[in-house]
Amino acid sequence: MACHQPQNTKKFTIGFSQCTGGDAWRRQMKVAMEGELAFYPDMKLVYRDAENDSEKQVADIEAFIHDKIDLLIVSPNEATPITPIVEKAFNAGIPVIVVDRKTSSSMYNAYIGADNFEIGKLAGSYIADLLNEKGKVLEIWGLPGSTPAMDRHRGLWETLKEFPQIESVGNIYGKWEQDTARLQLKKAIATLPDFDVLFAHNDVMAYGAHQVLQEVRPNNNIRFIGIDALPGPGAGIQFVDDKILTATFLYPTGGEESIRTAYQILSKQPYEKENVLHSTVVDARNVRVMKLQSDKLLNQQKDIVRQQQLLNEQIQTYYNQRILIYILLISLITLVIFGSIAAMSWREKNEINKRLEIKNQEILWQ
């Protein structure tokens, strides 16, 4: 396995401030980063989870600044509250990579993420075709103050406003979480009119909404659409394959790209400031192919992690063996030194004894 290394031998510390580690998409981002780090042994990742709390994220980043990390990767919980502390890190000379959600400032070295406005527009076009340009849509938001949620909403209705017979029946605020989306929909469902499409800002909220509507409006003909298209069981691609979701839109995590960009910055190579990741729809037409490809990639990723763990174990074994050899060598040298001293003492003792014997003989002859 070929590994990239910055030209000097310094071990670089990357601080990763995640807005939340509580959903599958963000857990996959972390897994992708850790997998990519296997190729960069001179970089290590220190992870802090803000748990959907902007104040905690500010404190986390402040701690990173205090620890004098070499580079900051941040996925902001909300744009406005997080901007000042990110600017502080940037002004302190710490390179900053913003992932997924933007701040309200341009003070960062690189941004990596999909274009949420364009994904919203793609979803709008898909819904318009699905409804033959006539119907009712319920939207489940992520966190209202986050840029992905705002941009997905704007993009959706930027497209759907061109179709006057498609209307909104309301908004539910699920905060990106399946349980929250389910709870909020249960509270509101009695007041909602019938609708044709439920569009959620991520797949797990769409899945939670599907569970609620199966309970309260069984045998409905509602089409469920989400965003993320994560691989593996209990995720978007599987939901489409199981016909729970009609469609999902691929939203790359940017985990691998963040580590590659971090390496380029730390090794003083050229890099792009704006890195837009592309999306596509996953529905009944291509879900089988996407599932096969994503499952294969997941297996390859697991293999890389296992190989890295094996390599680390072999390196540790090598270091332990080297230390043991050093101990044995020192012991041998010590043994040789003491043996030499003992031999010299024995020879000196023999010489003294011989001289004493000669003197004794001389005395007796007198």
Q: For residue 186, with 0-12 CB atoms within 10 Å meaning exposed, 13-18 middle and 19 or more buried, which class applies?
A: middle
- pLDDT value, residue 274: 96
> Tokens in use for 2?
């070929």
Residues 104-116 have pLDDT tens digits of 999 999 999 999 9
> Tokens in use for 149?
């949620």
Domains of the chain and any CATH numbers:
12-113+254-275 (3.40.50.2300), 116-250 (3.40.50.2300)
Beta bridge partners of 99: 112
What pTM did the predictor assign?
A: 0.74
Q: What is the pLDDT along the chain (366 residues), one digit of tens a residue?
A: 445 544 455 789 999 999 998 888 999 999 899 989 988 989 999 999 999 899 999 999 999 999 999 999 999 998 899 999 999 999 999 999 999 988 999 999 999 999 999 999 999 999 999 999 999 999 999 988 888 899 999 999 999 999 999 999 999 999 999 999 999 999 999 999 999 999 999 999 999 999 999 999 988 899 999 999 998 888 999 999 999 999 999 999 999 999 999 999 999 999 999 999 999 999 999 999 988 877 777 776 677 667 777 777 787 788 888 888 888 888 888 888 888 888 888 888 888 878 777 777 767 676
Q: State the number of CA atoms in the 13 A half-sphere of 285 facing the CB.
A: 5
Backbone φ, ψ for residue 75 (5° rounding):
-115, 100
For residues 56 and 74, what is the distance between their CA atoms, to the nearest angstrom? 13
**300-338: string of b/e by CB count within 10 Å (b at 16+)?**
ebeebeeebeeeeeeeeeeeeeeeeeeeeeeeeeeeeee
Q: For residue 339, with 0-12 CB atoms within 10 Å meaning exposed, 13-18 middle and 19 or more buried, which class applies?
A: exposed
> Tokens in use for 84?
């000042």
Residue 116 DSSP SS3: helix
Q: Which amino acid is at 313?
A: E
Residues 167-195 have pLDDT tens digits of 999 999 999 999 999 999 999 999 999 99
Contact 69/60 with Cβ under 8 angstroms?
no
Residue 257 DSSP SS3: helix
Q: Which amino acid is at 27?
A: R
Of 242, 167, 232, 159, give the one whose Cα is nearest residue 206: 242
